[in-house]
Structure 1
Amino acid sequence: MARTEHLISLVRPRTYLYTPSDPQHKDRRKRDQGWLEIAKELYPQWDIFSKKQADLKLKALQTRWRSANDSFNSHLKKERSMRSGSAAMSFTPYSYAKNLDFLRPILEMRSTDTCWDDEPAEEDSSAQTQEPTNPGSPNQQMAEIAGEE
Structure 2
Amino acid sequence: MIIFEYNDSILKSQVMDDSISTPKERSRVNSPAVMSNPGTPRSEEVRATPSPNQMRRGHGAAQAMQLSQQQLLQLQQQHLQQLQTQQLQTQQLVQQHQSQSKYSQLLAVIEDMGRDIRPTYAGSKTSVERLKRGIVHARILVRECLMECERSARS
Same topology, TM > 0.5: no
Taking structure 1 as the reference length, the TM-score comes to 0.25
What is the TM-score with the length of structure 2 in the denominator? 0.24
Greater relative contact order (CA < 8 Å, ≥ 6 in sequence): 1
Q: Which structure's residues are more often strand, by fraction? A: 2
Structure (1 or 2) with the greater helix fraction: 2
Bigger Cα Rg: 2
